[in-house]
Each structure stands twice: as structure tokens, then as C-alpha cells.
Amino acid sequence: MNKFLFHTDLKYRLSRHITFFVIIVLVFTLVLFSRSHGQNLGKLLYLTALNAVFFLGFAYIMIFVIIPLFLPEKKYALLGLTFLGIGFLLSVVKLSISDFIFYSSISPEFVGSQGLLNVRYILVNTKDMSFIVALFVIVKFTKDWLITENQQKSLEMKYTELKLRLLQSHFEPHFLFNTLNNLYALSLNNQHETLDVIQRFSRVLQFSITESQKEKVPVSEEINMIEDFVRIEQIRYGNRLRVESSVTGDYLTLMIAPMLIFTLVENCFRHGSSTDAGQPWISLSLACEKGRIYFEARNSIPEKCNSPITIQEKGLLKLRQRLDIIYPRKYSLTLSEGSREFTAKLELDLN
């Protein structure tokens, strides 16, 4: 039924117009038959069909020719004059062919000595035709507007989905490259630790490839992936890097858009410890309360670092864009810079 009403294929459009024409003819034939005092039904059907051709012809000329010709150019006065002019001319033709015979045979008392083909009846018929055709035009353009609205909403949803996928596909190649280098080095010295890193690396990749494409994932899965990621990075840095982390509150039933918290954690390594040749440190804290999460990521800043907050603000731009799309007006992301540390705080309402 939906295809029949809204599909733009030629067969559906023809079917709609033919069905509409038949319904109009049948309805008006029955109405006239009930008032015709025993007039022949076949003759009424013929006369009604002939009248419907003029009405619908007028409507089609306006919808498919005149309105597309003048409306885009904003020639409203010319559009109105053309509308009335065509209505007047078609009224003359219609009264000459159809209505004179119809009214004279059904209701001769309404026909004057000059018949129906005079200015008065032509103007009245023009008014009636114009009113009905105007209704057809309104219905047609209302339907087109609804179709356009649905198409626009569909395009907006697809665009938003595509934009989210592009924003999520941000895994840094340097992480993969560094991890593979670390695995090679470990394989030469420590086979047991190599197996552990491979398992963690596999889980991180699995999450980034499959889970990150989902609309929501359990907060617990995001936490587990972050733990694996941090452990891999700690092996890379060895004893030189100190990482502190804490998770409090009930998060087992919470769902979150994937890779949000991870992005802040990754940012600590990318713009913090990776640029610090000394003794870098990272502090991660996640608290969950009544469907809200409070996450804080702090990292050390090297002594010689130009505008670290500007650099990290650019690095977290994609995260802000994702939050704006997924959690509009339900989040707060603040960045602050101390003398030797950088802090990112995310408050997010998951209800």
C-alpha cells in the first residue's frame, strides 16, 4: 500500500492516477444518479467521465506545466492570471461539449433561453473548476512535501550515521605500528609476556573493528578494552611510565556509545607520555552514579611543550563532534592545563 501511494516508478504513478480518475467518476456519477429522476446510468457515467477529463486535465496542466514554469521564477501574478485564463477557456469548451447536454437533459429548469454558454455560467463554472483544481494542487504538493520531508530525514540519518562512522574510525596507525614492534622485541626475550600482549592486542582490535560499529556497548566492555590498551602501552614504556586508575559505582547495567572514554585515554598517551622522555605519568578515574558517568583523565606534560591545551583540544575535536551528535545537551567536556599536567573531564548522562 505504501508503494502504491508514494513510489515514484511509472507503473505506480499511472496506477494511482487511473485509480483516482475511476473513483472520482464513480462517486460523482452515483451522486448525480440519485438526483437525476431516473436518468440513464450509462449516459450519466459518460457525461461525468467527460467532465472529469476537463477537471483533471486542468489540474495536470497546472501541476506539471504552469506551476513549475512560473513558481520557481516567483512570477506569482502571471501564475494567477494564467490559472484563471486556462480555467475560463476550459469552461467555455466544457460547457459547449458537456454541461449543456447534461444540464438540459437532467435539469432543464436551470437552463435559460440562451442555454448555459453565456458569460454568467462560464464564470460560475470557472470558479467551481478553479476551486476544485486548487484543492487537487494542494493535495499534490502536500504529498510531495511529505515525500521530500521523509527523504530529507532519511538522508540526514544516513549522513549522521556516516559521519559517526568516520569519527569513530580514528584508531591511530602509530598504536598498531608500536605494538607490532613491541611484540617482535618481546618474542626474542619473553615468550610468556608475548602471549599476553597478543591476547590483549587481539581483544583491542576486535573491539575497535566490531564493537565500535555498534550504536551502544556495555560500559564494562569499554573498561575491559581500555585495560588491555593500557597494559599494552605499559609494556611499551616499561618502568618509565606510571599509570594509576580507579573505577567506582555501579556500571554493569550502563550502555554507552563505543570509544568515547577510550578516546580520552588514548589522548593521554598520544599527547602526554609519548612526548615525555622523562618519567611520564597518567591518572584515570571513572565514577558511575544514577545513570551518569564522571570520567577524569590526567597526564603529565613535558617541560618543553608549546601550547599543550591547544594541541589536545584539536586532538579531541572528533570526540566533541561525536558527543554533539549522540548526546546533545547531555554531556560536559572540559579541558584544563596546569603547570606540568593536563586534565580532561567528561560528565555524561546515559539515562
Give residue-wise pLDDT tens across range 254-288: 999 888 898 898 888 876 665 555 778 999 999 99
Cα 24 off chain centre by: 37
User: Does 144 lie in the same domain as 173?
Assistant: no
pLDDT of residue 108: 52
User: Does 155 lie in the same domain as 173?
Assistant: no
Q: What mean pLDDT, rounded, does the chain reach? A: 77
User: Does 318 lie in the same domain as 215?
Assistant: yes
User: Does 296 lie in the same domain as 156?
Assistant: no
Cα 11 off chain centre by: 28
Give residue-wise pLDDT tens across range 68-99: 888 878 888 888 888 888 888 887 877 777 65
* CA-wise closest residue to 179 among 194, 169, 163: 194
User: Does 153 lie in the same domain as 21?
Assistant: yes
Angstrom distance (rounded) from CA 51 to CA 198: 81
User: Does 216 lie in the same domain as 298?
Assistant: yes
User: Does 231 lie in the same domain as 88?
Assistant: no
How many domains are contained in the chain?
Answer: 2
Three-class secondary structure of residue 244 per DSSP = strand
User: Does 179 lie in the same domain as 122?
Assistant: no
Of 1 and 110, the structure prediction assigns the larger pLDDT to 1
User: DSSP string of 184-239?
Assistant: HHHHHH-HHHHHHHHHHHHHHHHHHHTGGGSS-EEHHHHHHHHHHHHHHHHHHHGG
User: Does 86 lie in the same domain as 215?
Assistant: no
Burial class (CB in 10 A: 0-12, 13-18, 19+), 256: buried
User: Does 213 lie in the same domain as 135?
Assistant: no
Which residues face 325 on adjacent strands?
none
Give residue-wise pLDDT tens across range 9-59: 777 778 877 887 788 788 877 877 777 666 677 777 887 787 788 878 888
Q: Say if pTM beats, i.e. exceeds, 0.75.
A: no
> Which range marks the domain in which residue 293 is found?
169-349
